[in-house]
């Protein structure tokens, strides 16, 4: 073991995470382009399909994003008619994001994307599960 081996790119754990994430997101592009969606808009809609109604703070917890990133994304999704942005009457600090009818319909147009992406990823089912578990172990265990 050389003195600086731990500084080699190929010996890092973060780098393949970073590269892998970016490269897979590129695979979404042709599918998302057809629907005029970005990856960030897409994962935002994923939360909305599930929750229907949520404030920015909560949304940010699910997505690991802050208002600095989310505000412009949500304004875009509002422009496209997929969500509504309304202040909470009980607490005007909260912005409630709610999915629209058009937003709900969008789900039908993206429902084949996960399968198509799976085909790009050259892993056995068991390996994919293993990877998934390890990633969440890291994500939930970060100190």
Partner DNA sequence: TACAATTAAATTGTATACAATGTAATTATA
Partner DNA sequence: TATAATTACATTGTATACAATTTAATTGTA
Contacts with a second copy by CB under 8 A lie at 3-4, 6-9, 11-25, 27-28, 39, 43, 46-47, 49-50, 62-64, 107, 110-111, 113-115, 117-123, 127-128, 130-132, 134-139, 141-143
d(CA 88, CA 54): 10
CB of 103 to a second copy, least distance (A): 13
Residue 52 contacts DNA per CB under 7 A: no
d(CA 84, CA 96): 8
CB of 141 to DNA, least distance (A): 17
Q: Which is nearer to DNA, 57 or 127 (CB)?
A: 57
Provide CB contacts within 8 A for 2, sequence distance 6+: none
Residue 22 contacts DNA per CB under 7 A: yes
Instruction: Identify the helix (H) or strand (E) that includes residue 88.
Output: none
Q: CB count, 10 Å around CB of 119?
A: 8
Q: Which of 31, 35, 39, 62 binds DNA (CB under 7 A)?
A: 39
Residue 49 contacts DNA per CB under 7 A: no
Residue 102: name its binding partner from DNA, a second copy, none (Cβ under 5 to 8 Å by kind): none
Structure tokens that stand for 27 in this block: 């695979």
Q: Which residue matches tokens 């429902």? A: 111
Structure tokens that stand for 7 in this block: 């500084």
Residue 45 contacts DNA per CB under 7 A: no
């Amino acid at each position: 073991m050389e003195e600086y081996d731990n500084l080699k790119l190929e010996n890092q754990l973060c780098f393949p995470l970073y590269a892998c994430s970016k490269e897979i997101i590129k695979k979404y592009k042709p599918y998302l382009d057809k629907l005029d969606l970005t990856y960030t808009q897409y994962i935002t809609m994923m939360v909305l399909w599930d929750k229907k109604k949520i404030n920015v703070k909560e949304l940010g917890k699910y997505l690991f994003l802050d208002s600095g990133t989310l505000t412009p994304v949500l304004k875009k999704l509002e422009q496209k008619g997929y969500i509504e942005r309304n202040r909470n009457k009980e607490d005007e600090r909260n912005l409630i994001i709610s999915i629209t009818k058009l937003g709900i319909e969008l789900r039908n147009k993206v429902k084949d994307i996960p399968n198509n992406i799976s085909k790009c990823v050259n892993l056995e089912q068991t390996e994919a599960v293993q990877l998934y578990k390890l990633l969440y172990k890291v994500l939930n265990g970060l100190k």
